[in-house]
Amino acid sequence: MGNDFQIEKLADEFGQYVLYRKCESCLNERRNTPHLLAKLCGWDAKLTDVVRRLRCSICGQKKCAARAVPMTPPRGYKSH
Ligand SMILES: [Zn+2]
């Protein structure tokens, strides 16, 4: 499945995506919703900027890499 899903700002795709944040130091991976980050930084914040500020809760390094994955729409969902 494509790499055409690009999140630049947290508000992109109306926040309907899931963030996988992987620490490049200890390889711990966490799953987040953008809502959590938007609470901290606002919906206009750039994803790359937000991720750069995050600290790994395990090893304390700021070496997180994030990828955004589209939320699977519920069965029968139709966009308008
Ligand atoms: Zn870590």
Handedness of CA 52, 44, 8, 38 (dihedral sign): positive
Task: Encode pLDDT of 46-69 as tens digits.
Answer: 999 999 999 998 999 999 999 999
Count of other CB atoms within 10 angstroms of residue 29: 11
pLDDT band at 76 (very low <50, low <70, confident <90, very high): confident
Question: How much distance in Å is there from the Cα of 78 to the middle of ligand 1?
Answer: 39
Question: How much distance in Å is there from the Cα of 52 to the middle of ligand 1?
Answer: 13
Question: How much distance in Å is there from the Cα of 24 to the middle of ligand 1?
Answer: 7
The Cα–Cα gap between 57 and 74 comes to 32
Listed by start position, the domains of the chain span 12-70
Task: Encode pLDDT of 5-47 as tens digits.
Answer: 889 999 999 999 999 999 999 999 999 999 999 999 999 999 9
pLDDT for the residue numbered 5? 84
Question: How much distance in Å is there from the Cα of 62 to the middle of ligand 1?
Answer: 8
pTM of the model: 0.76
